[in-house]
Amino acid sequence: MLGERFASVEQRRPDLRFPLPERFAERLTGRRVEALSRRAKYLIADLDDGQALVMHLGMSGRFVVEAPGTPPTEPGAYYNEIGRHLVHDHVVFHLGSGARVTYNDVRRFGFMDLVPRAGLESSRHFAGMGIEPLGNELSGELLAKLFSGKIAPLKAALLDQRLIAGLGNIYVCEALFRAGLHPEAEAGSLATPAGKPREKARLLAQIIREVLEEAVAAGGSTLRDFAHADGSLGYFQHRFRVYDREGEPCVTPGCGHLVKRLVQSGRSTFYCERCQRR
DNA sequence: AAGCGAACCTGGCTGC
DNA sequence: TGCAGCCAGGTTCGCT
């Protein structure tokens, strides 16, 4: 997409999670993509008219990139060769080069929006958003400060995008396990260790970074249908230590306790009650 | 104000 | 085989 123009855009339904912007396809047609970036779980394409195309994949969204000359899928076909449900191809970007970028999203929890690039940080999607977990700001000191006084469970605080923006359910479970911290511990307890000052916060901050870097290097996690834009899959799911491993033995040498599952604010948490302490 | 459950939507899997 | 129930990578809304 970078440097390309949108020759045309097909919008096949009026909405994803939210209504698509007014005259969406029309406003994109002829525009050139000048930059691509990411903030938290949002993708941002800067356009040559000062607008930004903001995109979020939700739970099941994916982009598929097809090279110039790839024949269009057969009209009326339900699945393509890799089992993708074509009825869930909602937006198709036809690029000047002839390549196609298709947004497919079974559950339609994803969305797209067009907003002025200037002041993007204070626009409705980004205002109040927390720090980047891979940015320089994340430190034990800041983590302790962010969680100070919070009685919400550690798990919920880590998922709270207003504090740290970009951690999801899988990586929070994995980070808590590696840090040996109990998901139900009060978030504020990280900030108030009477003895070793903020040792837990320092360790957790370091481990969050490690887990994310390792997951990115492994290409992310393919649970059911996640794939990169070129169709390749992620491999981090093979390195899960607790996520989706309920009832399996804890991987800590000599532990042997079974991984437990509990529900916190509507999301599954997987943890080892022996290795993860409050 | 913070924290929590429900809602948004479809499909896959399990168990009866 | 069929059907009900549960579960899923995320965010937002509304209630207490």
Pick the CATH number of A6-122 from 3.20.190.10, 3.40.50.280, 3.30.70.120, 1.10.3720.10: 3.20.190.10
Q: Is the CB of A126 under 7 A from strand C?
A: no
pLDDT of residue A225: 79
Strand C bases near protein CB (under 7 Å) are 7-12
In whole angstroms, C2 C1' to A138 CA is 52
pLDDT of residue A81: 60
Q: Is the CB of A61 under 7 A from strand B?
A: no
Average pLDDT, chain A: 93
Q: Is the CB of A14 under 7 A from strand B?
A: no
From CA A129, how far away is CA A222, in angstroms rounded? Answer: 27
Please give the structure tokens belonging to residue A208. 């969050």
Contacts of A115 (CB under 8 A, 6+ apart): A51, A52, A54, A123, A124, A125
Contacts of A17 (CB under 8 A, 6+ apart): A58, A108, A109, A110, A111
The structural domains of chain A, with segments of one domain joined by +, span 6-122, 140-271
CATH code assigned to A140-271: 1.10.8.50
In whole angstroms, B4 C1' to A183 CA is 16
How does pLDDT run across A62-120, given as a tens digit for each residue? 999 999 998 877 766 666 665 678 899 999 999 999 999 999 999 999 999 999 999 99
**Amino acid in position A129:** M
Q: Is the CB of A183 under 7 A from strand B?
A: no
pLDDT of residue A187: 96
pLDDT of residue A73: 75
In whole angstroms, B5 C1' to A238 CA is 32
Q: Are A92 and A112 in contact (CB under 8 A)?
A: no
In whole angstroms, B12 C1' to A224 CA is 9
Do A6-122 and A140-271 fold alike per CATH?
Answer: no
Q: Which residue, counting CA atoms, is nearest to the C1' of nucleotide C11?
A: A58
How does pLDDT run across A164-204, given as a tens digit for each residue? 999 999 999 999 999 999 999 999 999 876 556 589 999 99
